[in-house]
Amino acid sequence: MDLTTLTIKELSEKLRKKETSSVEATKAYLKRIEAVEGKVHAFVTVTPDEALSMAEAADKRLAAGQGAPLTGIPIALKDIFCTRGVRTTCSSKMLEGFVPPYDATIARKLKEAGAVILGKNNMDEFAMGSSTENSAFHKTLNPWALDRVPGGSSGGSAAAVAALECAASMGTDTGGSIRQPASCCGVVGLKPTYGRVSRFGMIAFASSLDQAGPLTRSVEDAAIILQAIAGHDPSDSTSIDTPVPDYLASLNKSVKGLKIGIPREYFIEGMDPEVEGSIRKALDVLKSLGAELVEVTLPHTQYAVAVYYLVATAEASSNLARYDGVKYGLRTKEAGGLLDMYKRTRDAGFGDEVKRRIMLGTYSLSAGYYDAYYKKASQVRTLIKNDFDEAFKSCDVIATPTAPSAAFKIGERVEDPLTMYLSDIFTISCNLAGIPGISVPAGFTKENLPIGLQLLGKSMDEETVLRAAHAYELSGGWLGRRPTL
């Protein structure tokens, strides 16, 4: 029996029945990482000793009958979450040697649930990118086709799950960085409502947009992880203090009568015909299950990319100002004075894409341009949120493609940042509005590349999003399909 092919739910059941152990499962995953990591490059750091120690502790908890659903389950973390005693780099030279003295709330909650942390996944530097080609260390490759990108910025997390290197991984989503790589790699990616999951200890890119969430092999597994990590955190001022429902209990409720909104603005000219065809078929599946399809409109969608790249870069400019060579992280040894040290450190520590976004954000916040750019973008952001509020008056969830195309080839868009930015055109509005969204596998192209269906829900209504995604997953025919490495 290959333990690495099991879902969290399946492995958890075997652990509880004493049919296997967490140590055995952890060793199986470490062996898998050793076998395929040379092809996929999904990790920045692997921590075998720490993982086996956690697995031994999990087995003791299970033997005492104290296990939770995640106890003993080997998972990974995007290298943006602070982990006590384990380096956290954000895939940047700026933080290459940074070892945090504390755990992010996400990491702490997963450890308290008994999960086994295998290591840290590769990502676009400081979460800026759509392809995981912007890592300062190495490019992550798509397990379905090694000449394709895995998406980004959580590409390492998505690729690791797809390549069976971990049972699940935690990613972050600022403009689609969980859902888009999930679509590219044929896995499930859930972005919760902004504020549903703590951001404490999660290195900031754009503070009003960033949200942590799981990448898994099934919707049920995503619900299991969300149950463990959701909830109010006093350490995070943006964390929402509201009760956490039982996500698993809602999964198997019927979708009969559920109204699914189809926004005309998301089925655009230029979208890959294979993507549109797969999404149309997925909608037919949901309709056959009793859901009602209704047309909705999100009229300000056309401004979403422009708004996002003003708001996100402005916040990035502010957040990344702390990396100046003084407090922590990289400090250049060759400098003629304080100001020169600032300049040389930031030049050496940041990659091209990070520099590009800092410069754009600084420009939009500068005197004389703030009102014309950042302030205007913030106003249009409110209109985008209002569009969703209005649309949800006539539907329960909104269905769209996750991305306009399947995974593109490595290097294909590196020299064209604007084309790269459009990779997130269908996912960005969700972050601007702060609502939950999920990507679930919904087909494959003729070249055997995964296609994702995106479902968006009302604020704090992850239950309905998960229910609709689970219903489709069980009937869509794609559950359990894996790449061959």
Answer whether 204's CB lies under 8 Å from 210's CB. yes
183: buried, middle or exposed (CB in 10 Å: 19+, 13-18, 0-12)?
buried
Q: What is the pLDDT of residue 186?
A: 98
Active site residue 169: no
Q: Is the pLDDT confidence value at 318 over 90? A: yes
Answer whether 469's CB lies under 8 Å from 199's CB. no
Active site residue 177: yes
Q: Which of 9, 22, 78, 278 is catalytic?
A: 78
Q: Which of 91, 92, 177, 278 is catalytic?
A: 177
Per-residue model confidence as pLDDT tens digits over 104-119 = 999 999 999 999 999 9
Averaged confidence pLDDT in the chain: 96
Q: What is the pLDDT of residue 270?
A: 75
Q: Tokens 């549109």, residue?
A: 276
Per-residue model confidence as pLDDT tens digits over 324-338 = 999 888 999 887 889
Q: In terms of Cα–Cα distance, which of 150, 78, 137 is closest to 107?
A: 78
Per-residue model confidence as pLDDT tens digits over 3-55 = 999 999 999 999 999 999 999 999 999 999 999 999 999 999 999 999 999 99
Q: In terms of Cα–Cα distance, which of 177, 156, 153 is closest to 165?
A: 156
Q: Which of 153, 157, 364, 459 is catalytic?
A: 153
Q: Is the pLDDT confidence value at 420 over 80? A: no
Q: What is the pLDDT of residue 256?
A: 97
How far apart (Å, rounded) are the C-alpha atoms in residues 128 and 36? 26
Q: What is the pLDDT of residue 222?
A: 98
How far apart (Å, rounded) are the C-alpha atoms in residues 246 and 235? 24
Give me the sign of the Cα torsion angle 31, 130, 185, 402. Answer: positive
- Edge to edge, the sheet with strand 43-46 lists 43-46, 116-121, 74-78, 169-173, 211-216, 188-191, 437-444, 450-457, 397-401, 259-263, 292-296
Per-residue model confidence as pLDDT tens digits over 27-39 = 999 999 999 999 9
Q: What's the N-to-C CA distance of the chain in angstroms?
A: 18
Q: In terms of Cα–Cα distance, which of 311, 285, 290 is closest to 381?
A: 311
* pTM value surpassing 0.85: yes
Residue 326 CB-half CA count within 13 A = 10
Per-residue model confidence as pLDDT tens digits over 126-181 = 999 999 999 999 999 999 999 999 999 999 999 999 999 999 999 999 999 999 99
Active site residue 153: yes
Work out whether strand 397-401 and strand 450-457 pair parallel, antiparallel, or are unpaired.
antiparallel
Q: What is the pLDDT of residue 328?
A: 81
Q: Where are the domains of the chain?
A: 3-254+462-476
What is the dotted CATH code of the domain comprising 3-254+462-476? 3.90.1300.10
